[in-house]
Amino acid sequence: MPDHNQNKLHFDYAGWESLNIFVYLTDVLQESSYHIYVKGSAKKIKLWDVIRQIVPASEVAERFKDRIPPITGPAGTLFIENAEGFHCRHKGSERRVILNMLFTSHRNLLSHGRSSHKTLERRDRVFEEI
């Protein structure tokens, strides 16, 4: 698959208050496309991060050092994330299937949720390619 923005460290702004609940539906191992979340980063987003949204991995590693664990686990592993912190999907050799439930208080001009019309069209194009 081509590189996708989801493979790059970024953050999302879903609304004033939002919460993501993830459940791995397949076993997610070190070689899988596991999720990465940078602990504590939601409170350390800078104005420049807001403008560019995607931040180089080397810069995130420098800023957050050892707070970037891969999230792996057997099917059924559940974790909760504030998507306003840096996160991404590792580009592994094994796929993962994940259930993502998103709560958001409302949508606004800065929202770029997966449910936006533009995002769904792009997703459908990628799925057609593969």
**Binding residues vs Fe ion (CB under 5 A):** 12
Q: Which is nearer to Fe ion, 12 or 49 (CB)?
A: 12
Q: Which is nearer to Fe ion, 74 or 116 (CB)?
A: 116
Neighbours of 3 (CB within 10 A): 8
Contacts of 58 (CB under 8 A, 6+ apart): none
Q: Taking every pair of C-alpha atoms in the chain, what is the biggest distance, in angstroms?
A: 38
**38: which DSSP letter?**
-
CB of 114 to Fe ion, least distance (A): 8
Q: Which is nearer to Fe ion, 74 or 95 (CB)?
A: 95
In the bound complex, which residue of the shown chain has the CB atom lying closest to Fe ion?
12
CB of 30 to Fe ion, least distance (A): 21
Residues forming a β-bridge with 103? 19
